[in-house]
Amino acid sequence: MTVTEDWTWHIVPNAGDLEAAPVELSAEEAQAWCNFVLWKPTVLPDGCRSITSTLRKEAPPGHEVKATGRSPWSDANNAVHRAEIGGPGRRLRIKQFLYDWAFAAADHPCLWGSETRPVSLSGGQVLWFGTDYLGNAATSARMSRTTVELSVLEGEFSDAELVALHEGLVPPQDDVVRRILLTPFHKLSYWARHPATMVAVPTGLYSFQRHDREHAGTWVPSAELKDFLAAHHIPSALDAFVAESAATFTSGSGAQEVEVVYTSPDIDASELRLVLQHTGRGRIPFPPQRAKHPASTEEIDLAGRHVHLAHIDPVLGPFDAQWSDSATGVEGKLLSSTNAGLDRGVFLSGLSSLLARSPLRDKGAAL
């Protein structure tokens, strides 16, 4: 059967109707409440069993109920699944959600600031090993857009056990992966759909943050995307990566950037995220400033532009490229997620095709 319809899911209509605590649901039951693919473990470490499987349901913004498990940094009520697996003397937690309030920093935000190392899974996804913000041994992977974060809460698990656990993750429903990958990011994103308080977080290996906590993004309806891209001279595709969502972000002081999401369903929804601004009129610092995460940097010439390039792994990335074009008065940033199919050559090819188009080239024009 060919599936063409967007993914739809259940939402609690009013924040005041949310349960005070996450509810215990099987993966099959929880998937119907998720705006992301919920991955179900089928290969557990030796001697371990599933302990819990709980879901924080989505609702409009507002913490009207004193609820456990909600972020104090925002009034958002986005869907998040949490599972615990454990056995004698050891226990781990798996947290799954759609990271949609910003581009996921270094493609493994829960490991931010720690030395990280990648392992490619059989499906091409990249499993990152590092240390999370609580000091626990942890991993992070992007799987069909879902951010899958694992934290060791007690005892030890070998790399081989954690790789096997991720290799054994399966969707609880046959058509969910395809339907979610066919649904544009802005239709899935909580922050694109609700005026929730924004969260200021790192977004790449070069510093870039939107510090305004007020909701500042205006996302383009799908029917208007083609005209929006054409008006800004932004290509609709970067090689195999196709533009499927775009937004304009404006701060309270008038700083403004255009942002475009490019995805490739054939590479497990790997993503290129483009951010553009007129010189000095947005929040991308230039010259680039390194963020506080271990990475390597270099400077290259590409398509007649001088490009600053940062990466963690020289082949897999993730990549963060910044450039400034004095001829057009445009500064830009292109970020990548990680996947074996999105290596350095693929990234630089997409960036080269972008630079050749001189996006946002009407100097001084309003975004």
292-304 residue pLDDT tens: 999 999 999 999 9
Name the pTM for this structure: 0.94
Least Cα distance to 332 among 214, 226, 234, 211 occurs for: 234
pLDDT at residue 196, as a whole number: 86
pLDDT at residue 181, as a whole number: 94
267: DSSP letter: G
Q: Residues 263-281: what's their mean pLDDT?
A: 93
pLDDT at 61 over 60: yes
Q: Residues 317-325: what's their mean pLDDT?
A: 97
315: DSSP letter: T
**Cβ atoms of residues 70 and 22 within 8 Å:** no
Structure confidence at residue 328 as a pLDDT band (50, 70, 90): confident
pLDDT at residue 211, as a whole number: 76
pLDDT at residue 3, as a whole number: 44
pLDDT at residue 363, as a whole number: 47
Q: Which residue has the higher pLDDT, 35 or 212?
A: 35
Structure confidence at residue 358 as a pLDDT band (50, 70, 90): confident
Structure tokens at 350: 């997409």
Q: Which residue has the higher pLDDT, 95 or 5?
A: 95
pLDDT at residue 43, as a whole number: 98
pLDDT at residue 184, as a whole number: 97
Distance of CA 357 to the CA centre of its chain: 26
pLDDT at residue 104, as a whole number: 93
pLDDT at residue 120, as a whole number: 97
pLDDT at residue 291, as a whole number: 95
pLDDT digits (tens, 9 = 90+) for 108-155: 999 999 999 999 999 999 999 999 999 999 999 999 999 999 999 999
Q: Residues 284-290: what's their mean pLDDT?
A: 95
pLDDT at 193 over 80: yes
Q: Residues 21-42: what's their mean pLDDT?
A: 97
pLDDT at residue 65, as a whole number: 64
Q: Residues 306-334: what's their mean pLDDT?
A: 96
Structure confidence at residue 200 as a pLDDT band (50, 70, 90): confident
pLDDT at residue 1, as a whole number: 35
pLDDT at 367 over 60: no
pLDDT at 161 over 70: yes
Strand pairing partners for 272?
262, 336
pLDDT at residue 63, as a whole number: 84
For residue 290, give Cα distances in angstroms to 64, 108, 155, 293, 307: 39, 17, 35, 8, 14
Structure tokens at 52: 């819990």
pLDDT at residue 67, as a whole number: 63
Distance of CA 274 to the CA centre of its chain: 13
- C-alpha span between 31 and 17 (Å, rounded): 20
Contacts of 121 (CB under 8 A, 6+ apart): 127, 141, 163, 166, 167
Q: Which residue has the higher pLDDT, 196 or 315?
A: 315
pLDDT digits (tens, 9 = 90+) for 209-258: 887 767 678 999 999 999 999 999 999 999 999 999 999 999 888 899 99
Contacts of 351 (CB under 8 A, 6+ apart): 238, 302, 303, 307, 321, 334
* b/e per residue 266-286 (b: at least 16 CB within 10 A): ebbbbbbbbbbbbbeebbbeb
Q: Residues 303-317: what's their mean pLDDT?
A: 96
